[in-house]
Protein backbone atom coordinates (compact mmCIF):
# COMPACT_ATOMS: atom_id res chain seq x y z
CA UNK A 1 0.00 0.00 0.00
CA UNK A 2 2.78 2.44 0.93
CA UNK A 3 4.70 1.62 -2.24
CA UNK A 4 1.57 2.25 -4.36
CA UNK A 5 1.10 5.68 -2.77
CA UNK A 6 4.75 6.55 -3.37
CA UNK A 7 4.55 5.57 -7.02
CA UNK A 8 1.31 7.47 -7.49
CA UNK A 9 2.69 10.63 -5.86
CA UNK A 10 5.87 10.43 -7.89
CA UNK A 11 3.89 10.00 -11.10
CA UNK A 12 1.79 13.06 -10.28
CA UNK A 13 4.96 15.13 -9.84
CA UNK A 14 6.93 13.28 -12.49
CA UNK A 15 8.75 16.17 -14.12
CA UNK A 16 12.40 16.10 -15.18
CA UNK A 17 14.70 17.34 -12.47
CA UNK A 18 16.12 20.08 -14.70
CA UNK A 19 12.61 21.41 -15.35
CA UNK A 20 11.80 21.25 -11.63
CA UNK A 21 14.87 23.29 -10.67
CA UNK A 22 14.34 25.74 -13.52
CA UNK A 23 10.80 26.46 -12.32
CA UNK A 24 12.18 27.24 -8.87
CA UNK A 25 14.91 29.46 -10.31
CA UNK A 26 12.34 31.32 -12.42
CA UNK A 27 10.21 31.94 -9.34
CA UNK A 28 13.24 33.04 -7.33
CA UNK A 29 14.15 35.49 -10.12
CA UNK A 30 10.81 37.29 -9.72
CA UNK A 31 12.12 38.80 -6.48
CA UNK A 32 8.98 37.96 -4.50
CA UNK A 33 11.09 36.15 -1.89
CA UNK A 34 13.00 39.37 -1.11
CA UNK A 35 10.05 40.48 1.00
CA UNK A 36 10.29 39.39 4.63
CA UNK A 37 6.50 39.64 4.84
CA UNK A 38 6.12 37.13 2.05
CA UNK A 39 8.58 34.78 3.73
CA UNK A 40 6.67 35.09 6.99
CA UNK A 41 3.49 34.18 5.16
CA UNK A 42 5.25 31.01 3.94
CA UNK A 43 6.10 30.15 7.54
CA UNK A 44 2.46 30.73 8.47
CA UNK A 45 1.41 28.25 5.78
CA UNK A 46 4.07 25.86 7.04
CA UNK A 47 2.55 25.91 10.51
CA UNK A 48 -0.93 25.43 9.08
CA UNK A 49 0.36 22.40 7.21
CA UNK A 50 1.90 20.95 10.35
CA UNK A 51 -1.25 21.47 12.39
CA UNK A 52 -3.40 19.88 9.70
CA UNK A 53 -1.11 16.88 9.30
CA UNK A 54 -0.05 16.32 12.92
CA UNK A 55 -1.65 12.93 13.44
CA UNK A 56 -0.71 11.61 10.01
CA UNK A 57 2.90 12.62 10.57
CA UNK A 58 2.96 10.94 13.99
CA UNK A 59 1.45 7.80 12.46
CA UNK A 60 4.15 7.79 9.78
CA UNK A 61 6.92 8.11 12.39
CA UNK A 62 5.46 5.16 14.26
CA UNK A 63 5.26 3.13 11.07
CA UNK A 64 8.90 3.83 10.14
CA UNK A 65 10.60 3.73 13.55
CA UNK A 66 8.02 2.69 16.11
CA UNK A 67 8.30 6.08 17.81
CA UNK A 68 5.82 6.57 20.61
CA UNK A 69 3.55 9.63 20.27
CA UNK A 70 5.28 11.35 23.18
CA UNK A 71 8.79 10.90 21.79
CA UNK A 72 7.68 11.79 18.27
CA UNK A 73 6.13 15.00 19.57
CA UNK A 74 9.13 15.94 21.72
CA UNK A 75 11.95 15.15 19.33
CA UNK A 76 10.30 15.73 15.96
CA UNK A 77 6.94 17.46 15.55
CA UNK A 78 7.04 20.02 18.37
CA UNK A 79 10.72 20.64 17.78
CA UNK A 80 9.97 21.67 14.20
CA UNK A 81 7.21 24.01 15.38
CA UNK A 82 9.51 25.50 18.02
CA UNK A 83 12.15 26.34 15.41
CA UNK A 84 9.48 27.70 13.06
CA UNK A 85 7.95 30.02 15.64
CA UNK A 86 11.34 31.32 16.78
CA UNK A 87 12.36 32.12 13.20
CA UNK A 88 9.06 33.80 12.47
CA UNK A 89 9.45 36.01 15.54
CA UNK A 90 12.95 37.10 14.51
CA UNK A 91 12.55 37.17 10.73
CA UNK A 92 12.06 40.92 10.30
CA UNK A 93 15.20 41.67 12.32
CA UNK A 94 17.28 39.05 10.54
CA UNK A 95 16.27 40.36 7.12
CA UNK A 96 17.36 43.92 7.83
CA UNK A 97 20.38 45.12 5.92
CA UNK A 98 23.26 46.09 8.18
CA UNK A 99 24.61 49.58 7.66
CA UNK A 100 28.35 50.34 7.66
CA UNK A 101 30.24 53.60 7.84
CA UNK A 102 32.13 54.41 4.67
CA UNK A 103 35.65 55.83 4.50
CA UNK A 104 36.00 59.55 5.07
CA UNK A 105 37.57 60.11 1.66
CA UNK A 106 34.31 59.03 -0.02
CA UNK A 107 31.82 61.48 1.47
CA UNK A 108 28.10 60.98 0.93
CA UNK A 109 28.63 57.30 0.09
CA UNK A 110 26.65 54.55 1.81
CA UNK A 111 27.47 50.91 2.46
CA UNK A 112 25.33 48.09 3.73
CA UNK A 113 25.32 44.29 3.77
CA UNK A 114 22.35 42.19 2.71
CA UNK A 115 21.77 38.60 3.84
CA UNK A 116 21.18 37.35 0.31
CA UNK A 117 19.50 34.03 -0.42
CA UNK A 118 21.30 31.47 -2.58
CA UNK A 119 18.38 30.44 -4.78
CA UNK A 120 17.21 26.84 -5.04
CA UNK A 121 18.39 24.78 -2.05
CA UNK A 122 18.60 20.99 -1.94
CA UNK A 123 17.90 19.33 1.43
CA UNK A 124 19.15 15.73 1.73
CA UNK A 125 17.54 14.34 4.88
CA UNK A 126 18.36 11.19 6.93
CA UNK A 127 16.13 8.50 8.38
CA UNK A 128 16.76 8.72 12.13
CA UNK A 129 14.73 11.90 12.66
CA UNK A 130 13.02 11.92 9.26
CA UNK A 131 10.58 14.72 10.06
CA UNK A 132 12.74 17.12 12.05
CA UNK A 133 15.88 16.80 9.95
CA UNK A 134 13.96 17.38 6.72
CA UNK A 135 11.65 20.18 7.80
CA UNK A 136 13.86 22.34 10.04
CA UNK A 137 16.43 22.93 7.26
CA UNK A 138 13.59 23.39 4.76
CA UNK A 139 11.69 26.03 6.72
CA UNK A 140 15.00 27.75 7.54
CA UNK A 141 15.85 27.91 3.85
CA UNK A 142 12.41 29.39 3.14
CA UNK A 143 12.83 31.95 5.92
CA UNK A 144 16.16 32.95 4.36
CA UNK A 145 14.45 33.59 1.03
CA UNK A 146 15.26 30.44 -0.93
CA UNK A 147 13.19 27.88 -2.77
CA UNK A 148 13.56 24.29 -1.58
CA UNK A 149 13.83 20.74 -2.89
CA UNK A 150 13.68 18.03 -0.20
CA UNK A 151 14.91 14.48 -0.74
CA UNK A 152 13.82 12.41 2.31
CA UNK A 153 15.54 9.17 3.22
CA UNK A 154 14.26 6.05 1.52
CA UNK A 155 14.74 4.22 4.85
CA UNK A 156 11.81 6.14 6.36
CA UNK A 157 9.35 5.81 3.45
CA UNK A 158 6.11 6.50 5.34
CA UNK A 159 7.41 9.78 6.74
CA UNK A 160 8.89 10.82 3.41
CA UNK A 161 5.58 10.19 1.70
CA UNK A 162 3.64 12.09 4.37
CA UNK A 163 5.98 15.08 4.04
CA UNK A 164 5.56 15.04 0.26
CA UNK A 165 1.77 14.90 0.46
CA UNK A 166 1.58 17.58 3.14
CA UNK A 167 3.79 20.09 1.34
CA UNK A 168 2.14 19.49 -2.04
CA UNK A 169 -1.19 20.34 -0.41
CA UNK A 170 0.00 23.71 0.93
CA UNK A 171 2.77 24.85 -1.42
CA UNK A 172 3.33 25.05 -5.16
CA UNK A 173 6.38 23.13 -6.46
CA UNK A 174 8.12 26.32 -7.57
CA UNK A 175 8.43 27.23 -3.85
CA UNK A 176 9.03 23.85 -2.22
CA UNK A 177 8.84 20.31 -3.54
CA UNK A 178 9.71 16.80 -2.37
CA UNK A 179 11.47 14.15 -4.44
CA UNK A 180 11.26 10.53 -3.31
CA UNK A 181 14.00 8.06 -4.14
CA UNK A 182 17.28 6.50 -3.07
CA UNK A 183 20.98 7.34 -3.20
CA UNK A 184 21.00 7.51 -6.99
CA UNK A 185 18.23 10.11 -6.86
CA UNK A 186 20.35 12.25 -4.53
CA UNK A 187 23.24 12.09 -6.98
CA UNK A 188 20.96 13.03 -9.87
CA UNK A 189 19.61 16.02 -7.94
CA UNK A 190 23.11 17.28 -7.14
CA UNK A 191 23.97 16.95 -10.84
CA UNK A 192 21.32 19.63 -11.51
CA UNK A 193 23.65 22.13 -9.79
CA UNK A 194 21.39 23.45 -7.04
CA UNK A 195 22.52 26.75 -5.58
CA UNK A 196 23.09 25.26 -2.10
CA UNK A 197 23.12 21.78 -0.54
CA UNK A 198 22.25 20.90 3.04
CA UNK A 199 23.11 17.30 3.92
CA UNK A 200 22.52 15.39 7.15
CA UNK A 201 23.86 11.86 7.47
CA UNK A 202 26.95 9.75 7.90
CA UNK A 203 30.48 11.02 7.41
CA UNK A 204 31.10 8.49 4.63
CA UNK A 205 28.12 9.66 2.56
CA UNK A 206 28.81 13.29 3.45
CA UNK A 207 32.23 13.02 1.82
CA UNK A 208 30.64 11.75 -1.39
CA UNK A 209 28.16 14.63 -1.38
CA UNK A 210 30.96 17.14 -0.80
CA UNK A 211 33.04 15.69 -3.63
CA UNK A 212 30.15 15.83 -6.10
CA UNK A 213 29.22 19.34 -4.96
CA UNK A 214 32.83 20.49 -5.33
CA UNK A 215 32.77 19.54 -9.02
CA UNK A 216 30.17 22.27 -9.51
CA UNK A 217 31.46 24.61 -6.74
CA UNK A 218 28.16 24.28 -4.89
CA UNK A 219 28.28 25.56 -1.29
CA UNK A 220 27.38 22.85 1.21
CA UNK A 221 26.48 22.42 4.85
CA UNK A 222 27.30 18.95 6.17
CA UNK A 223 25.72 17.78 9.41
CA UNK A 224 27.51 14.50 10.08
CA UNK A 225 28.03 12.10 12.96
CA UNK A 226 30.99 10.91 14.99
CA UNK A 227 32.03 8.93 18.01
CA UNK A 228 30.97 11.22 20.82
CA UNK A 229 32.94 10.48 24.00
CA UNK A 230 31.60 10.95 27.51
CA UNK A 231 34.21 10.96 30.28
CA UNK A 232 33.25 10.25 33.88
CA UNK A 233 35.84 11.63 36.28
CA UNK A 234 36.26 9.98 39.70
CA UNK A 235 34.42 12.84 41.43
CA UNK A 236 31.39 12.82 39.09
CA UNK A 237 27.87 12.62 40.51
CA UNK A 238 27.03 9.00 39.75
CA UNK A 239 23.27 9.22 40.33
CA UNK A 240 22.63 12.29 38.17
CA UNK A 241 25.28 11.51 35.57
CA UNK A 242 24.05 7.97 34.93
CA UNK A 243 20.46 9.16 34.59
CA UNK A 244 21.38 11.85 32.06
CA UNK A 245 23.51 9.44 30.05
CA UNK A 246 20.73 6.85 30.00
CA UNK A 247 18.29 9.52 28.83
CA UNK A 248 20.58 10.77 26.06
CA UNK A 249 21.43 7.27 24.83
CA UNK A 250 17.86 6.01 25.13
CA UNK A 251 16.18 8.64 22.93
CA UNK A 252 15.36 7.11 19.55
CA UNK A 253 17.09 3.89 20.73
CA UNK A 254 20.47 5.57 20.42
CA UNK A 255 19.95 6.38 16.73
CA UNK A 256 20.96 9.99 17.31
CA UNK A 257 24.08 11.70 15.98
CA UNK A 258 24.61 13.67 19.21
CA UNK A 259 24.05 10.72 21.57
CA UNK A 260 27.02 9.63 23.72
CA UNK A 261 28.73 6.95 21.66
CA UNK A 262 30.88 5.55 24.47
CA UNK A 263 31.54 6.25 28.13
CA UNK A 264 35.02 6.38 29.67
CA UNK A 265 35.08 5.33 33.33
CA UNK A 266 37.89 4.79 35.89
CA UNK A 267 38.62 1.08 36.30
CA UNK A 268 37.35 0.86 39.88
CA UNK A 269 34.01 2.53 39.03
CA UNK A 270 32.93 0.52 35.98
CA UNK A 271 30.47 -1.70 37.83
CA UNK A 272 28.86 1.24 39.65
CA UNK A 273 28.33 3.27 36.47
CA UNK A 274 27.07 0.30 34.46
CA UNK A 275 24.58 -0.67 37.15
CA UNK A 276 23.31 2.87 37.63
CA UNK A 277 22.79 3.43 33.89
CA UNK A 278 21.03 0.11 33.50
CA UNK A 279 18.72 0.81 36.42
CA UNK A 280 17.92 4.23 34.95
CA UNK A 281 16.92 2.61 31.66
CA UNK A 282 14.66 0.14 33.43
CA UNK A 283 12.98 2.96 35.33
CA UNK A 284 12.50 5.15 32.25
CA UNK A 285 11.22 2.50 29.85
CA UNK A 286 9.81 -0.20 32.16
CA UNK A 287 11.95 -2.95 30.63
CA UNK A 288 10.86 -6.32 31.99
CA UNK A 289 13.31 -9.07 30.96
CA UNK A 290 11.10 -11.76 32.47
CA UNK A 291 8.04 -10.84 30.43
CA UNK A 292 6.87 -13.35 27.90
CA UNK A 293 7.91 -12.82 24.30
CA UNK A 294 6.00 -10.10 22.47
CA UNK A 295 5.49 -7.68 25.34
CA UNK A 296 7.77 -4.84 24.34
CA UNK A 297 8.36 -1.52 26.10
CA UNK A 298 5.86 0.86 24.47
CA UNK A 299 8.12 3.94 24.51
CA UNK A 300 11.22 2.23 23.12
CA UNK A 301 11.93 3.03 19.47
CA UNK A 302 12.72 0.21 17.06
CA UNK A 303 15.80 -0.13 14.84
CA UNK A 304 15.23 1.26 11.37
CA UNK A 305 15.80 -1.95 9.35
CA UNK A 306 17.24 -5.47 9.33
CA UNK A 307 20.65 -4.37 8.06
CA UNK A 308 21.17 -2.00 10.99
CA UNK A 309 19.77 -4.56 13.43
CA UNK A 310 22.28 -7.18 12.24
CA UNK A 311 25.13 -4.66 12.30
CA UNK A 312 24.38 -3.86 15.95
CA UNK A 313 24.12 -7.54 16.81
CA UNK A 314 27.60 -8.15 15.40
CA UNK A 315 29.02 -5.37 17.58
CA UNK A 316 28.03 -7.28 20.72
CA UNK A 317 31.10 -9.47 20.20
CA UNK A 318 33.36 -6.46 20.82
CA UNK A 319 33.63 -6.78 24.59
CA UNK A 320 32.26 -8.18 27.82
CA UNK A 321 28.48 -7.84 28.11
CA UNK A 322 27.68 -6.32 31.50
CA UNK A 323 23.94 -5.83 30.97
CA UNK A 324 21.75 -6.92 28.11
CA UNK A 325 18.09 -6.46 27.24
CA UNK A 326 15.84 -8.41 24.89
CA UNK A 327 15.95 -8.41 21.11
CA UNK A 328 13.49 -9.44 18.44
CA UNK A 329 14.76 -9.38 14.89
CA UNK A 330 11.32 -9.86 13.35
CA UNK A 331 10.02 -6.65 14.98
CA UNK A 332 13.39 -4.81 14.97
CA UNK A 333 13.13 -4.47 18.75
CA UNK A 334 16.55 -4.03 20.37
CA UNK A 335 16.80 -3.16 24.06
CA UNK A 336 19.97 -1.54 25.47
CA UNK A 337 23.26 -3.35 25.97
CA UNK A 338 26.22 -2.23 28.08
CA UNK A 339 29.63 -3.53 27.01
CA UNK A 340 32.94 -3.32 28.83
CA UNK A 341 35.86 -2.69 26.47
CA UNK A 342 39.55 -2.23 27.20
CA UNK A 343 40.87 -1.12 23.82
CA UNK A 344 40.09 1.44 21.15
CA UNK A 345 40.80 -1.36 18.67
CA UNK A 346 37.58 -3.18 19.60
CA UNK A 347 35.11 -3.26 16.65
CA UNK A 348 32.49 -1.29 18.59
CA UNK A 349 35.03 1.52 19.03
CA UNK A 350 35.90 1.80 15.34
CA UNK A 351 32.81 3.51 13.95
CA UNK A 352 29.73 5.30 15.20
CA UNK A 353 27.50 2.84 17.08
CA UNK A 354 24.25 4.63 16.22
CA UNK A 355 22.14 2.32 18.33
CA UNK A 356 21.35 1.27 21.92
CA UNK A 357 24.78 -0.22 22.68
CA UNK A 358 26.85 1.69 25.24
CA UNK A 359 30.51 0.67 25.37
CA UNK A 360 32.18 1.51 28.66
CA UNK A 361 35.86 2.12 28.03
CA UNK A 362 38.05 1.46 31.05
CA UNK A 363 40.84 3.95 31.79
CA UNK A 364 43.56 4.16 34.40
CA UNK A 365 45.15 7.50 33.52
CA UNK A 366 42.99 10.48 32.65
CA UNK A 367 45.87 12.31 30.97
CA UNK A 368 46.61 9.33 28.73
CA UNK A 369 42.91 8.98 27.90
CA UNK A 370 42.58 12.65 26.88
CA UNK A 371 45.74 12.42 24.76
CA UNK A 372 44.42 9.31 23.05
CA UNK A 373 41.03 10.91 22.33
CA UNK A 374 42.79 13.94 20.84
CA UNK A 375 44.29 11.72 18.12
CA UNK A 376 40.87 10.48 17.00
CA UNK A 377 38.40 12.15 14.63
CA UNK A 378 36.78 15.31 15.98
CA UNK A 379 33.42 14.34 17.52
CA UNK A 380 30.12 16.14 17.23
CA UNK A 381 29.81 16.29 21.03
CA UNK A 382 32.33 15.87 23.86
CA UNK A 383 30.95 15.43 27.40
CA UNK A 384 32.74 15.55 30.74
CA UNK A 385 31.10 14.56 34.02
CA UNK A 386 32.73 16.09 37.09
CA UNK A 387 32.05 18.33 40.06
CA UNK A 388 34.90 20.64 38.98
CA UNK A 389 32.89 22.46 36.33
CA UNK A 390 35.43 25.24 35.81
CA UNK A 391 38.27 22.83 35.06
CA UNK A 392 36.08 20.82 32.70
CA UNK A 393 35.00 23.96 30.85
CA UNK A 394 38.60 25.08 30.45
CA UNK A 395 39.52 21.67 29.08
CA UNK A 396 36.62 21.71 26.59
CA UNK A 397 37.77 25.08 25.26
CA UNK A 398 40.93 23.45 23.92
CA UNK A 399 39.25 20.32 22.49
CA UNK A 400 38.26 20.14 18.82
CA UNK A 401 34.58 19.20 18.78
CA UNK A 402 31.23 20.51 17.58
CA UNK A 403 29.96 21.14 21.12
CA UNK A 404 31.33 20.60 24.61
CA UNK A 405 29.05 19.67 27.52
CA UNK A 406 29.72 19.50 31.24
CA UNK A 407 27.65 17.04 33.29
CA UNK A 408 25.19 16.38 30.48
CA UNK A 409 24.71 14.92 27.02
CA UNK A 410 22.54 15.81 24.01
CA UNK A 411 20.62 18.47 25.96
CA UNK A 412 22.13 21.43 24.06
CA UNK A 413 20.07 20.36 21.05
CA UNK A 414 16.86 21.33 22.86
CA UNK A 415 17.56 25.08 22.67
CA UNK A 416 16.31 26.42 19.33
CA UNK A 417 18.61 29.45 19.54
CA UNK A 418 21.96 27.67 19.92
CA UNK A 419 24.07 26.97 16.82
CA UNK A 420 24.33 23.27 16.00
CA UNK A 421 26.89 21.43 13.90
CA UNK A 422 30.19 19.61 13.81
CA UNK A 423 33.78 20.24 12.82
CA UNK A 424 36.08 18.39 10.41
CA UNK A 425 34.93 14.73 10.29
CA UNK A 426 31.73 15.57 12.18
CA UNK A 427 30.61 18.21 9.72
CA UNK A 428 30.91 21.76 8.49
CA UNK A 429 28.55 24.67 8.89
CA UNK A 430 25.94 25.45 11.53
CA UNK A 431 22.18 25.74 11.70
CA UNK A 432 19.29 26.28 14.13
CA UNK A 433 18.11 29.78 14.93
CA UNK A 434 20.08 32.69 13.46
CA UNK A 435 22.99 30.43 12.53
CA UNK A 436 20.60 28.48 10.32
CA UNK A 437 19.42 31.69 8.68
CA UNK A 438 23.07 32.59 8.02
CA UNK A 439 23.77 29.11 6.64
CA UNK A 440 21.18 29.65 3.89
CA UNK A 441 22.31 33.17 3.01
CA UNK A 442 25.51 34.91 2.03
CA UNK A 443 26.60 38.44 3.00
CA UNK A 444 26.32 40.65 -0.09
CA UNK A 445 27.95 44.07 0.08
CA UNK A 446 25.93 46.96 -1.37
CA UNK A 447 27.78 50.23 -1.91
CA UNK A 448 26.14 53.43 -3.15
CA UNK A 449 28.14 56.48 -4.26
CA UNK A 450 26.60 59.88 -4.97
CA UNK A 451 25.88 60.78 -8.57
CA UNK A 452 26.36 64.55 -8.16
CA UNK A 453 29.59 64.74 -6.16
CA UNK A 454 33.03 63.38 -6.98
CA UNK A 455 36.07 63.49 -4.68
CA UNK A 456 39.07 64.71 -6.74
CA UNK A 457 41.65 63.29 -4.31
CA UNK A 458 40.87 59.68 -5.21
CA UNK A 459 42.31 59.97 -8.73
CA UNK A 460 45.93 60.04 -10.00
CA UNK A 461 48.28 61.73 -10.05
CA UNK A 462 48.84 60.86 -6.41
CA UNK A 463 52.03 62.86 -5.93
CA UNK A 464 51.59 65.30 -3.08
CA UNK A 465 48.72 63.28 -1.61
CA UNK A 466 50.90 61.05 0.62
CA UNK A 467 49.42 62.35 3.85
CA UNK A 468 45.92 61.69 2.59
CA UNK A 469 46.87 58.18 1.46
CA UNK A 470 48.30 57.35 4.89
CA UNK A 471 45.11 58.50 6.48
CA UNK A 472 43.02 56.45 4.03
CA UNK A 473 44.94 53.30 4.75
User: In angstroms, rounded to a whole number, what is the distance separating the alpha carbons of residues 305 and 445?
Assistant: 48
Give which of 255, 271, 364 is closest to 320, Cα–Cα.
Answer: 271
Range 375-395 burial, b when 16+ CB lie within 10 A, else e: eeebbbbbbbbbeeeeebeeb
Helix axis angle for 2-12 and 157-170, nearest 10°, is 40
pLDDT at 8: 46
- Helix, strand, coil shares of the chain, percent, nearest 5, are 50, 20, 35
pLDDT bin (cut points 50, 70, 90) of residue 459 is: confident
Q: Report d(CA 428, CA 219) in Å as an integer.
A: 11
pTM for this predicted structure:
0.92
Residue 448: count other Cβ atoms within 10 Å of its Cβ.
Answer: 11
Residue 257 appears among annotated catalytic residues = yes
Residues 6+ apart with CB under 8 A from 221: 196, 197, 198, 199, 421, 427, 428, 429, 430, 431, 439
pLDDT tens digits along 338-397:
999 999 999 999 999 999 999 999 999 999 999 999 999 999 999 999 999 999 999 999
For the cut 80, the answer to whether the pLDDT of residue 458 exceeds it is no
> What's the pLDDT band for 291 if we cut at 50, 70, 90?
low
Residue 157 has pLDDT above 80, yes or no: yes
Average per-residue pLDDT in the chain?
92
pLDDT computed for residue 353 by the predictor: 96
By three-state DSSP, how is residue 229 classified? Answer: strand
pLDDT at 455: 78
* Dihedral sign (CA 335, 336, 339, 343): positive
What average pLDDT does this structure show over 267-292?
88
pLDDT at 409 over 90: yes
Q: What is the mean pLDDT of residues 68-86?
A: 96
Q: Cβ(177)–Cβ(151) under 8 Å?
A: no
pLDDT for the residue numbered 306: 97
Q: Give the pLDDT of residue 294.
A: 58
Q: Is residue 28 very low, low, confident or very high in pLDDT (cuts 50, 70, 90)?
A: very high
- 320-324 and 337-341: which strand pairing? antiparallel
pLDDT of residue 293: 56
Task: From the candidates 95, 121, 257, 264, give the one annotated as an active-site residue.
Answer: 257
Banded model confidence at residue 102, pLDDT cuts 50, 70, 90: confident
| Tens-place pLDDT, residues 174-218 | 999 999 999 999 999 999 999 999 999 999 999 999 999 999 999
pLDDT band at 289 (very low <50, low <70, confident <90, very high): low
Distances (CA, A) of 382 to 173, 259, 305, 378, 393: 41, 10, 28, 9, 11
Bridge-based pairing of strands 262-266 and 320-324 is unpaired
Q: Among 11-20, 270-279, 280-289, which range has the highest average pLDDT?
A: 270-279
Residue 95 has pLDDT above 90, yes or no: yes
SS3 state at 31: coil
3-7, 147-151, 389-393: range with lowest mean pLDDT: 3-7
Phi-psi region of 242 (alpha: psi -120 to 50; beta: other; left: phi over 0): alpha
The answer, yes or no, to whether residue 457 has pLDDT greater than 50, is: yes
Q: Is pLDDT above 90 for 6?
A: no
Q: pLDDT class for 1, splitting at 50, 70, 90? A: very low
CA distance 434 to 442: 13
Residue 7 has a pLDDT of 46
What is the reported pLDDT for 13?
Answer: 54
User: Is 427 or 292 the better-scoring residue by pLDDT?
Assistant: 427
- Asked whether residue 406 carries a pLDDT value surpassing 60, the answer given is yes
| CA 241 to chain CA centroid, nearest Å | 25
Task: Please give the Cα distance from 357 to 312 (Å, whole number).
Answer: 8
223, 296, 352, 425: the active-site residue:
223
Lowest-pLDDT choice from 13-27, 60-74, 354-368 = 13-27
385, 384, 419: which is closest to 402 by C-alpha? Answer: 419
Residue 11, pLDDT score: 45
Q: Where are the beta strands (DSSP E) in 315-466?
A: 320-324, 327-328, 333-334, 337-341, 357-363, 381-385, 403-406, 427-428, 441-448
Amino acid sequence: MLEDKQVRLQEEADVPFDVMFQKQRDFFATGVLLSWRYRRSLLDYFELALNSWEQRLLDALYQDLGKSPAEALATEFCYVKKQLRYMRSKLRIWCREKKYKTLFFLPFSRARVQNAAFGSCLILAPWNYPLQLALVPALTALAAGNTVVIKPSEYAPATGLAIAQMLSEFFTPDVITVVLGGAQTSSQLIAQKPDHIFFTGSTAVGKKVAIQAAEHLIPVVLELGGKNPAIALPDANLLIGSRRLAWAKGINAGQTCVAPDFLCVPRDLVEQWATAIWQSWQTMYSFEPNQKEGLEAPEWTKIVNIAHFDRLTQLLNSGEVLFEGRRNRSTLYFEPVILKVNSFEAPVMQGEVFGPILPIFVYDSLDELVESLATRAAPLVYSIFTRDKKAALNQLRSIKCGAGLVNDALVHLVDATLPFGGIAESGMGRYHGYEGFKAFTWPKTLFVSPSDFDAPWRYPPLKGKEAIIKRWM
